[in-house]
Amino acid sequence: MSGIAAIYNFDRRPVDLALLERITEAAAYRGPDAGGVWHEGRAGLGHRMLHTTPESLRETQPLVDTTAKLALVMDGRVDNRDELITDLRAHGVRLADETDAEIVLRSYELWREDSPRRIIGDFAFVIWDGREQQLFCARDPFGIKSFYYHRDARRFLCGSELHQILEDATVPHEPNEGMVGEYLADRIRNREETLFNGIFRLEPAHYLIIRESGLVKRRYYDIDPENRIVHGSDDEYAAHFLELFKQAVACRMRSCTPVGAELSGGLDSSSVACTVQLLLKSGACAAPGFETFSAVYPGLPCDESEYIASVVEKAGLKANLLRPGPTPPGKWVTEARRFGDFPGYANGLMNEAVLDSVRAKGMRVVLTGVGGDEFLTGSFRHCADLLSRLELRALIGYLRDAFSRYGLEPWRLGDLPAVAAIMRDVVRPLVPLPAVRALKRLRRRDPVPSFINREFARRSALAERLTVEEKVPNAFSFAQAHMYGALLDGRLCQAAEQGSRSDGAYGIESRHPFYDRRIVEFAFGIPEEQRHWRGLTKLVLRNAMRGILPEKVRQRRTKAEFSSTVLQELEALGGERLFASLAIAELGWVNQEEVRRMYRRAVAISAADGDPALTRLRELWRLFGIDLWYRVGFLDRGGQKTRTCAA
């Protein structure tokens, strides 16, 4: 975890050093250990350093090579260090200190635009190439590290955080209504735009070249649809996965401080924590210390204390059980004002109690179980694959097992959820795309939620945004294509950026073994039956964890639901009063009375059956967050309201 910044002047004027220092220092909290700027003519780079790996202790950034006329700033980590070092040396490249930054710089020097594809790890970096008079920027394949930028006719500037861009007073301070609509609908599709007009994100798996003639953006990495992993038995698949998983966990244990792990008691985080302990005991990796951190919620449906206890006992872990207290007063206002962005989300495990405890123990690295759901759960659309191959016996068995898990009976026509699922995930994927489009036009179903103002939706082309068809490789099966949607999901991209921002505020770097590129490629390459079989998800992970996890967790089919914590937070903030005078309603973005009715329905449903997961709490939180973002970022600034309404 570090902070980066860069400026490039298209008009060849020397870099404004004061601006460069300002946008660099705006990210100082991400890198309290060291900082510096470098500039040469039209280009300048800035960096704030947080030491997390042993190699980073001898790293200085900006890293400058005057002979090669290259300079680099990077936020990130190289996980295939040994492989790259070997390749570089085989090509005659001499490495001075083998830091991650030097490996990236030399990789660019040797392979140029192909260099990001060769790097496995989480990264966002900028390289000034003096010979080509260009900036080269790249972001990791899954968007774990954030990257924001703005360009106009005069200059390009970028940084790790959105608010760094806003340090330039010439950047327009205007809301992007299209993106606002996507947030309000809780269906963030776009991975490039932000809530501000003119401020963009570099999409995951893309690089960006900035030259005097303009910008060139290209994708450098994608999942290979032809990759197939074939073994003869479940045990062979499990052994292959475990080998890769140990590798993914071990490379993320590289730390100059003790390492923590988020432990929820679920299958994914438990697998990470137990694998760490296995590797430490075998000597396959080392760390100055290792402990787990768990948020517990006694008396609430989301409490997982019994599962956490079984994992701790099985692996002999040093555990920290933390009961989150009330949210600090003004937390969300402070976040929105500090970062100029949507505030955090009142849900999840890495909350203040956990982050405070991690920081108090001097830890800077925390491992998580994030990513297991996206790539190992499997997809119900495997049924469409079975139907397309006329494997009817397998299809019927799959449907029976899947529906029995949720208490649905698809054989009864009156069971509408089951029938709808069959039509959506079994039948519709087989219908030719032109026919699907024609059917949508005939049905005329409005994808825009009813609480969003119709005129605002029309002006921002929100319906078109919410129904945009993403390009998916044709060679994918229907199940793989559904999985691929996780890589295109703007919500996941935004969640990663938000998580990075929150961690950075505590001087912590979260690392996600399930987002290791080798794990993701494996997940796409195995047969669906290794992901989901007989109503059991993540089969290959469960098989790989035999003897490593306690059976209570390894065979677990339930998953904690944290929606109750969202409802508690909304009620603590004022409940229905919170939605009684929305600034975004006065602005004409939402219908205030419909929002209030939606809140009352959510509370009533929760009180009636104790299952807040069935309510629209995520949409309500998005409403609260966007209203707060607008109030803090525009109304509190003064003199902005008229310009915003006219935007």
Let me know if residue 607 belongs to a domain: yes
As a whole-number percent, the residues of the chain with pLDDT over 90 amount to 73
Domain assignment present for 106: yes
The answer to whether residue 30 sits within a structural domain is: yes
Domains identified in the chain, total number: 3
Q: Would strands 134-139 and 148-151 be described as parallel, antiparallel, or unpaired?
A: unpaired
Query: Taking 50 as the threshold, does the pLDDT of residue 383 lie above it?
Result: yes
Tell me whether residue 453 is in a domain.
no
For the cut 80, the answer to whether the pLDDT of residue 611 exceeds it is no
> Which of 294-303, 342-351, 502-511 is the least confident region?
342-351
H or E segment at 511? Answer: strand 509-511
* pLDDT tens digits along 438-472: 666 666 678 999 999 999 999 999 999 998 888 88
Which residue reads 């590797």 in tokens?
A: 279
Q: Is residue 386 part of a domain?
A: no
- Domain hosting residue 156, numbered range: 3-219
Only one residue has tokens 């296995």, namely 278
pLDDT given for residue 443 in this prediction: 61
pLDDT at position 351 over 90: no
Rounded to two decimals, the pTM is: 0.93
Is 479 within a domain?
Answer: no
My answer on whether 306 and 206 are in the same domain is no
Residue 488 neighbours by CB distance under 10 Å: 16
* pLDDT computed for residue 639 by the predictor: 43
Statement to judge: residues 93 and 215 lie in one domain: yes
Residue 350 reports pLDDT greater than 60: no
Instruction: In whole angstroms, give the CA distance from residue 130 to residue 188.
Output: 38
Instruction: Say whether both 263 and 185 belong to one domain.
Output: no
Chosen domain end from 219, 254, 272: 219
Task: State whether 99 and 201 are in the same domain.
Answer: yes
Q: 159 and 24 in one domain? A: yes
Q: What is the average per-residue pLDDT within 326-330?
A: 83
Structure tokens at 647: 């935007």
Of 170, 188, 219, which marks where a domain is finished?
Answer: 219
User: Could you tell me the CATH number of the domain that includes residue 289?
Assistant: 3.40.50.620
Claim to verify: residue 195 and residue 247 sit in the same structural domain: no
Phi, psi (degrees; rounded to nearest 5) at 328:
-55, 140
In the structure, what pLDDT confidence band is assigned to residue 645 with cuts at 50, 70 and 90?
very low
521 and 628: one domain?
no
- Given a contact cutoff of 8 angstroms between Cβ atoms, the answer to whether 365 and 529 are in contact is no
Same domain, yes or no: 11 and 127: yes
Of 554, 589, 610, which residue sits at a domain end? 554
Q: What is the pLDDT of residues 25-79, one digit of tens each?
A: 999 999 999 999 999 999 999 999 999 999 999 999 999 999 999 999 999 999 9
Residue 613 pLDDT > 70? no
Residues in the chain: 647
Residues 593-618: what's their mean pLDDT?
A: 77
65 and 145 share one domain: yes
> Which CATH number covers residue 131?
3.60.20.10
Tell me how far apart the alpha carbons of residues 277 and 289 are, in angstroms, rounded to a whole number.
11
Residues 6+ apart with CB under 8 A from 277: 290, 315, 316, 317
Q: Is 333 exposed, middle or buried (0-12, 13-18, 19+ CB in 10 A)?
A: middle
pLDDT score, position 395: 84
- 88 domain-assigned: yes
- Is the same domain home to 242 and 341? yes
What contacts 460, CB < 8 A, 6 or more positions away?
177, 178, 180, 181
In a shared domain, residues 207 and 310: no
With 70 as the cut, is the pLDDT of residue 615 above it?
Answer: no
Q: Are residues 208 and 270 in the same domain?
A: no
Per-residue confidence band for 271, with pLDDT thresholds at 50, 70 and 90: very high
Q: List pLDDT tens digits, range 384-430.
A: 898 889 888 888 888 777 666 655 555 454 445 556 667 777 877 87
Q: In whole angstroms, what is the distance from residue 142 CA to residue 488 CA?
A: 10
Position 518 in a domain:
yes
